[in-house]
Amino acid sequence: MQGKWRLKAPDKREHQGGALTSVSPGTARQKRSSPHTRLACLVDPGSFSEFGKSALARPFSGLGTRPEGDGVVTGSGSVDGRTASVFAQDSGALGGSLGETHALKIVRLQQRAMRSRHPLVGLVDSAGARIQEGVAALDGYGAIFRQNVLASGRIPQICVVLGACAGGAVYSPALTDIVIMQSGRGQMFLTGPAVVKEVTGEDLTGEEIGGARMHSHHSGLAHLVADEEAGAIGLARRVLSYLPDSCWHTPPAVAGRPAGRMPAVPSEQRKVYDVRAVVGGVVDGESFLELQPHFAPNLITGFARLEGRSVGIVANQPLRLGGVLDAAAGDKGGRFVRLCDAFGIPLVVLVDTPGFLPGRDQESKGIIRRGAKLLYAFSEATVPRVTVILRKAFGGAYIAMNSRSLGADRVYAWPTAQIAVMGAEAAVGIIHRREIAEHPHRRSRLVSEYREHVMTPQRAAELLAIDAIIQPADTRTVLAAALREIGHPPPVFRHDNLPQ
C-alpha cells in the first residue's frame, strides 16, 4: 500500500497555474491523486514547504505498517502570492485514518497558521479514527476541533472534501468557514450505510446519506460543489481571493472591472425575475461567487467585488418562493453575514421580499429562532452595510434585511419600491373590513390609496427610513460611492463564526 501511494513531488506536467492539467475528467474519477499532487493544485508552483514528513505512527500492536508522514501531508505554500497553511490526507496510507501522530501534525499546522495569521486549507480524504489507537485517536480529533474553534473568526478556514469523511471527523469541516465537496466522491456522514441499515432498516448508499447533493441541497453543510477534484481545489483558491489573511488584515483588492447591464425588473410585484441578474448589474463583471446556491435558494448569498473591493452579497430571490424568508434562509443568511463581518468584508443587501413564510410547518421548524439569527447578525455587524430596496419590503422581513433600524449605514430604494407592514390587498382587507363588506366596489380605490399614501419610497424617505430614491441604472455608482465614503473598517478581531 505504501509503495503504491508513496509521497513524492508532483510531475511538473500536473501543475500549471494552480490547476491539474494532465488528468482528464474520466481519469480523475478512476484514480485518486496523491496528496502532494493535490497540494500542487492548490498552491503556487514551487511554493510548498512540508514539515513533519518523517513522522511515524505510534507503534501500536495490530498496526501492520507505519507509513512515513502517518497518512497526512502538512506544510505551507502561497496561493496567488499569499501564504497559507495547508494539509492533505492520504487515503492510500492506512486509509488516511487519523491516529495520534496524524492529529498532532494537523494541530501543529493549525497553531502555526494562528501564530503567523494566515489562512488554513485542508484537503480531506480519510477513513476516520484509527481504531487500533483507541482513545488516542479520539483525543486527536478533540484537539483538532478545539483549534478550529480557537481560530474561528480569526483566520479563514476552508475544508475541501475529496473523499470519505465519517463519524466524528465530520465536525472539523463543520467548524470551518467554507466547505467544498467533490461530487460523486466526497462524502460526510456521522453514521455509515451499514449501521444505518442495522439500526433503522433503511438501505441507503453513502452518497444518499452524505454525498455532495445531500449536503448542498438539504443540510446546507456544503457551500460549493465541483464535479472534479481540480475544480473543487480551484474553488478553494477562488474563495481565498475574497478573504483577508486574517481578521487583522484588510481583504485583498484587485483592479476593478465593468459591471454587466442592469436588467429591467418587472414593476408588477407578482412577476418574478432572477435577482442574480441585478447582482451582475451592480458588481464587477464575472466576480460573483454564489455560496450554497441550492440550499434556501430564496435567499442569495456570495462574494463579489465592487470596483475591485471584496463585498458580501445578500439578496432575496423572487424566483424561489417569491423571495420570502423562511427558517433555512435565517440560518444561511445569518452565518454568511457573520462570516463577512468577522473578516471585514462590507455587505451589499438587495431587498425584494413579501415577508416571512407563514404556516405551521415553518413555525415548527423554528422560523422565529432561526430568523432571529439574521436579525442578530445584521445588528451585530460593524462592517459597512448598504441596502437597496428593489421592489417590495414587507413586515418583519423588511426589518431583517438590513434595515435602517438594524444599523444599516445607507439605505436606498428604487422608484418601484413598496415598503409596509404587508401588501396593500391584505392591509386594506384588515383596515377597511367593514366598509368593504358593505361597499365591495370601494376595494380597488382603497387599495390604490393605501399604496399611494403608505407604501411609497417617498413616504419612507420622509421618515428617514431610506436615504434616497435612486434609479436602477445608477445603483452601482451609488453603492460604490457609499462604500468609498464609509471607508474600510479597522482590521480587528470582532467575533467567531459560530456554526449555524
Q: Which residues are catalytic?
A: 167-168, 396-397
State which H helix or E strand residue 350 sits in: strand 347-353
d(CA 210, CA 87): 22
Asked whether the beta carbons of 117 and 153 are under 8 A apart, the reply is no
How far apart are the C-alpha atoms of 184 and 42, rounded to whole Å? 20
Alpha helices in 97-222 (DSSP H): 100-116, 135-151, 171-175, 193-200, 206-210, 212-214
Residue 105 neighbours by CB under 8 Å, 6+ apart? 52, 55, 69, 70, 72, 74, 87
CA gap 398, 314 in Å, rounded: 13
Could you tell me which of 107, 116, 122, 117 has the C-alpha nearest to residue 154? 117
Q: What is the DSSP letter of 217?
A: I
**Alpha helix segments (H runs only) across 343-442:** 360-364, 367-380, 395-400, 424-431, 433-438
Separation between Cα atoms, residue 179 and residue 148, nearest integer Å:
13
Answer yes or no: are the C-beta atoms of 128 and 189 closer than 8 Å: no
Measured between alpha carbons, how far is residue 15 from residues 44, 234, 305 in Å?
9, 12, 28
Handedness of CA 80, 243, 305, 222 (dihedral sign): positive
> How does 360-371 read in b/e, with b if 16+ C-beta sit within 10 Å?
eebeebebeebb
Q: What are phi and psi of 386, to 5 degrees?
A: -125, 130
User: Torsion angle of alpha carbons 446, 452, 455, 461, nearest 10°?
Assistant: -160
Set of cell numbers at residue 332: 444561511
CA dihedral sign, ordered 287, 288, 292, 293: negative
Q: Which residues pair with 98 in a beta bridge?
A: 129
Round to whole Å and give the CA distance between 420 and 332: 25
In terms of residues, how long is the chain?
500
